[in-house]
A and B are shown apart, each in its own frame.
Chain A
């Protein structure tokens, strides 16, 4: 009988190592205020990472999430600047995200185009369209919008809790709702899924739409954090979330991986930058370290599965 260690084990070890090191050498890393601030900042990213993981599990990829995020943020901002209430702005962001996700899903699932190129195209289209309309201008949000008008502290708490709650819901969905299992089934073997009565194309389409919606929600959450919406937000988001998923054990070939792995992956990758600061390592090593982590993660995963 072949047994396997949990796929996330090396990741957990790495996290323990990093946090342990920080606790010993730079305990001020764990100071409440900057910690909360960092978590609140990454909260939207976590949401997008969850959606991205699901798309990877269904054996596709979406590199347009950064652009979707930016567009949704601007939509929310514009609605706010026209005096719309907070709920409307949220709905607007969500709707924009769902729409963009549906376009990706249509091209991939219905027209059967390769997702990497489709999302490359839509990434460029949304980003450039946004630049065209905004010309790099920020949108000023009305006062009272930020943090729902609450204090910074409460606002951050709400952000973090909401993000964790939504993420937990998605992770639960992926494991416990049939639709979530369909995603794994289609990613594992689309033909076998079809023969079992699971519709591969609808499942794939739904994954893209879900990701789009999550980008919208994330963008809205992000808009709550600053007095302005930056049309250049979301730059590099796709690389970040894909890296988090892969480091977290989501297999690029689909069908495997747990969302909580992506959570840990994101935790590790986003800890690097502040950790470097606190450990008095120059910040310019950040990208190099992140890149190495990605490579190590994929090498480790391959060794793990090949030995079995």
Chain B
């Protein structure tokens, strides 16, 4: 009997990045199969291939022994594959019943909307999964977890046989989590195969039958859940250190330049963060995606200012209420989303680089093209930015080069505190090393650097100290760089053995 789903040697590359390197994976009917791995390990790419959003470069995918010829969301749908993403793809302005109806069928334009039928069916599905949601509510008025439940109702409604859940409990309360577990067990009991992606080891042990660990685009192993323990799982996730050479820690941390005490920001989901940043030091902020690292950075940069707590800069108590203020205080933030926040794609490299230092570079308010070009040339050569020149627009650059432009913009502000959010994400190996070298040099020159990274080897290789963020606050503080096991355990919230 062939397994419900079988993926064989799937490979997928995006440009220079090899996201999947020959992954094989199987799912049985009536099984909950957990998928575990660090960020960038290949989990989301694997899921995207399974759900037809991407087609693999090589390898095959079979459902019930039938090969999938053509990869598209509709094909996946046809084979009974449904996915519950973290960001539900529902129509915000339509009701729950309408969303379910649109998802479940392809209505013809001139058909009558059978409101009562739709509502009854929606209510039925919601009841089946035990969700207490009225079908007449608009999606935009639903909480994240309620939207997720609607998505699950849709999946059940279409009679999906393979349901993929991507971090489903990320924003759920205890009660909602229990409800979800119940639903998952029901699905399993009815013969559905569930692929369950989660970082929460307790969940995996509670819910899953088998667990597969991905690392660097390959499968490290599949084990039944009762034959393995947490530490072994963590060990599989992090594996051996890739022999990447990080620049030696030449900088010597000096005095405290920025002090945070009990920083909270409700809107940002950050609470009670206390941290000291020293000149010449690189502090790594480790943690899972969504743990609150970027949110903390945004508080420090004034995008979502702190409601409570104290910030002391060079001995003076300050408040940071806007990015302008942050910049004036010498705080710079290289954002995670470089296409939306790091670089303005339609503008030239030179224009992007000068964007944060207008007052300094253009005193009196008049643009000075010569000064701007000179700035651009300096950074282009210093950071090795490959482009057709300072006049090239941001969108003509590769991801890595865009990142360098984003970095240049903030380096030009000659900051005291530099916050880097995933600085080498999507950047090729060569550029990565260059950026690492530059970061260490900056620290050596006396900057206080905060480095947010989901890349464990990177954060261990670059940081002098590491703070682990979980649930919007500092869960653990490592004054010296811990081993990968301990670090991952802390990020997961698991007490390392």
Contacts and interface: CB of A to CB of B under 8 A. Distances in A.
Q: Do chains A and B touch in the complex (CB under 8 A)?
A: yes
Interface of A: 2-4, 175-182, 184-185, 187-189, 192-193, 195-198, 254-256, 308
B365 to A, nearest CB: 32
B112 A179 contact: no
Given A178-B113, A181-B113, A187-B93, 16 more contacts: A2-B141, A176-B113, A176-B115, A178-B108, A180-B113, A181-B107, A184-B91, A184-B94, A185-B91, A185-B94, A189-B91, A196-B103, A197-B106, A198-B102, A255-B91, A308-B141
B110 A192 contact: no
Give chain B's interface residue range (CB within 8 Å of chain A): 20 to 34
Contacts of A179: 109-110
Nearest to B74: A197
Given A2-B141, A196-B103, A198-B102, A188 B91 contact: yes
A193 B98 CA distance: 12
A89 B89 CA distance: 47
A123 to B, nearest CB: 29
Most buried by B among A181, A182, A193, A198: A181
Contacts of B92: 188-189, 255
Contacts of B108: 178
A181 B91 CA distance: 11
Contacts of B107: 178, 181
A181 B73 CA distance: 23
Contacts of A182: 109
Contacts of A197: 74, 106
B90 interface: yes
A175 B113 CA distance: 8
Contacts of B73: 195
A179 B115 CA distance: 14
Interface string B57-92: 000000000000000011000000000000001111
> Which 10 pairs, one residue from A and one from B, show the smallest C-beta to C-beta distance?
A255-B93, A179-B109, A188-B93, A178-B107, A188-B91, A256-B93, A2-B141, A197-B106, A178-B111, A176-B113
A176 B98 CA distance: 11
A184 B93 contact: yes
Contacts of B103: 196
Contact of B98 (A177, A181, A187, A192): A181
A255 B110 CA distance: 19
Nearest to A176: B113
B102 A185 contact: yes
A223 B131 CA distance: 56
Contacts of A195: 73, 89
Contact of A177 (B93, B102, B106, B113): B113
B102 A196 contact: yes
14 contacts: A4-B141, A176-B112, A177-B113, A178-B108, A178-B111, A179-B109, A181-B98, A182-B109, A188-B94, A193-B91, A195-B73, A195-B89, A196-B102, A197-B74
